Structure 1
């Protein structure tokens, strides 16, 4: 075999780093995993969870001590570290639904603790849809006391959560834009607490509910709006823009449309298993064809990679060709660092470049919503 045990965790490591996990913490834990003598998925999972929880305990103590002393900057930093460690645990594909729920609750609660320490207002909301309530956060660029905020809706796909979407919200907040980060059907609290599964009808209902929510919100400007998504959320962003002609901009980072993707390269853990089955609606693949319908004239930016093993450049080009307005694309040609023949993943090629791509994406949106003067 050409791969080391740690290679099994390449996708998890990549997403943990994207969310801000400390690279030295990550390397420390990966070295612990390297020392496993017998290849065992349960043993890898056990070490990963135990070691991250040890770091959670340490950073939580530092957070509490800093908060007690009134050191708000330190308290916020340690609170974010706690959330990042919980997120690393959430990324593991655990088959035990009760255990998965317990892990997510830890992430959920630590994130609530963290946002209380943020200077900008981050407000928890619930958005009504035909299939139930979609939990979400509104990330304001400031105290949230103004009106008519330009607003971006962010999207992700299966296995994600609204807490992770802060990484999309932050660069837009810096540019004076409010951001809604929803748990889309099949993701985060939408599936874990409200049992809203991922399917075409559920996703369409989520788009309708989010737009209605913005229309009725006193602080958000429904005429100054954009969509921003990554992975499956990149496909969602495109379809959401199709459904609303008021949308001024759409950005899709390594967009995934399941019916465009190479089904042979979709990993087994996404196709079956207790956790995967729990997230998907019965007519999932057929229902997802809805996302292919229609086109839009909003300004469109797409970022894609030749090393994406689910969406080929040709498949990505199909989505770009559908857009009828002004459009740009960025072709990532850097080879992924966290990669092996067996574990290269769809999100990794562009995800590893997000640290610089995010500024291009945020500027693209901000220029269209507020003239880029932030």
Structure 2
């Protein structure tokens, strides 16, 4: 066999670490997978899920005990660990849609319990769009009792979920900014519960619905707005800014525009399979061209890498060139550690650098929305 089994899980491991899974927990599970004798995808999947569920049981018990004893900080931290373990399970590209749905429901429920234990208010909302209701959370930087909050909308791509987007929301919350984390078409509860598939028309409807939602919300300031995205979400953030001239800032971390990338670079797991096909509208690839339309004058920050094998530096710079206002770019030169020939993924470079990139991104947005330094 050309690659170690654990290398095949590089995308899953990267995303799990990015969301905060404990690296020692992850390494322990990867060692169990190394010991799999039969090179079977189903067996690897079973070991991965069983081992994470064992940790879920342990952390759930610790969460419940801490909550019962009134240890709120411990209860919150253990609740977050439970959510991170469920997320690691969700990252597996399971072909059984019923099983995938069950895993996501567990992630949803564990996240709800975690959100109730947080100091800042995390409010579940549903955003009306022409494509259907988009489930989302509003992460307030405090108790949520004020009005006129500066607001950022965060975006991620296919295979993601609003629960994962907390990692984009947290650094902005720390700087006094409210954050909306939506399940975009094809992602999370939007696809699993509301059957909103990912396609150009659905995405355009989501952008319009989110803009209207913010305009009509009594606590959010539509004139003090930024868009912030990762991976495909970086492309979404750009298009959302094009469609809403009131946005003051746009940050795109490793943005992916499907028609700027070579179709040959898009991995097979994203082009075929029951779960992948379930997420896409019938005219998915053609419809995604709408994201490339238009320009914006908002202040723009883009982060890109030469080791992003979906978007070449030249393709990334085409996005930068589309912005006509003030703009900055950061070229990541660090080589990704979680990489192999068959599994290098678009999110790897930014996933491995996000721990420091997030502060530059958050400061860029905060400077435009609140002016002061935090």
Output the TM-score relative to the length of structure 2: 0.99
Map of 1:224 onto structure 2:
224
- Work out whether 1:33 is the aligned partner of 2:10: no
Map of 1:110 onto structure 2:
110
Map of 1:369 onto structure 2:
369
Map of 2:154 onto structure 1:
154
Map of 1:130 onto structure 2:
130
Give deviations 1:4-27, integer Å, cap 9, x for gaps. 010000000000000000000000
* CA–CA distance in structure 2, aligned partners of residues 372 and 299 of structure 1: 17
| Displacement of 1:40 | 0.9
* CA–CA distance in structure 2, aligned partners of residues 5 and 18 of structure 1: 20
* CA–CA distance in structure 2, aligned partners of residues 167 and 276 of structure 1: 24
* CA–CA distance in structure 2, aligned partners of residues 350 and 119 of structure 1: 28
Map of 2:322 onto structure 1:
322
Map of 2:336 onto structure 1:
336
* CA–CA distance in structure 1, aligned partners of residues 88 and 70 of structure 2: 28
Provide the aligned length of Structure 1 versus Structure 2: 374
CA contact (8 A) 1:63 1:76 kept: yes
1:126 aligned counterpart, secondary structure? strand
Structure 2 residue ranges without an equivalent (≥5) = none
| Displacement of 1:119 | 0.2
* CA–CA distance in structure 2, aligned partners of residues 50 and 372 of structure 1: 47
| Displacement of 1:373 | 2.9
Give deviations 1:173-201, integer Å, cap 9, x for gaps. 00000000000000000000000000000
| Displacement of 1:338 | 0.5
- Work out whether 1:172 is the aligned partner of 2:172: yes
| Displacement of 1:342 | 1.6
Give deviations 1:138-168, integer Å, cap 9, x for gaps. 0000000000000000001100000000000
CA contact (8 A) 1:253 1:302 kept: yes
Map of 2:302 onto structure 1:
302
Give deviations 1:44-71, integer Å, cap 9, x for gaps. 1000000000000000000000000000
* Mapping 1:1-374, distance limit 5 Å: 1-374=1-374
CA contact (8 A) 1:175 1:372 kept: no
* CA–CA distance in structure 2, aligned partners of residues 78 and 264 of structure 1: 42
* CA–CA distance in structure 1, aligned partners of residues 137 and 321 of structure 2: 32
CA contact (8 A) 1:363 1:372 kept: no
* CA–CA distance in structure 2, aligned partners of residues 265 and 32 of structure 1: 31
Give deviations 1:197-239, integer Å, cap 9, x for gaps. 0000000000000000000000000000000000000000000
| Displacement of 1:269 | 1.3
1:59 aligned counterpart, secondary structure? helix
CA contact (8 A) 1:154 1:165 kept: yes
* CA–CA distance in structure 2, aligned partners of residues 214 and 77 of structure 1: 31
Deviant stretches of 4+, over 6 Å: none
* CA–CA distance in structure 2, aligned partners of residues 206 and 355 of structure 1: 29
Output the TM-score relative to the length of structure 1: 0.99
| Displacement of 1:312 | 0.4
* CA–CA distance in structure 2, aligned partners of residues 353 and 238 of structure 1: 21
* CA–CA distance in structure 2, aligned partners of residues 112 and 179 of structure 1: 17
1:315 aligned counterpart, secondary structure? helix
2:294 aligned counterpart, secondary structure? coil
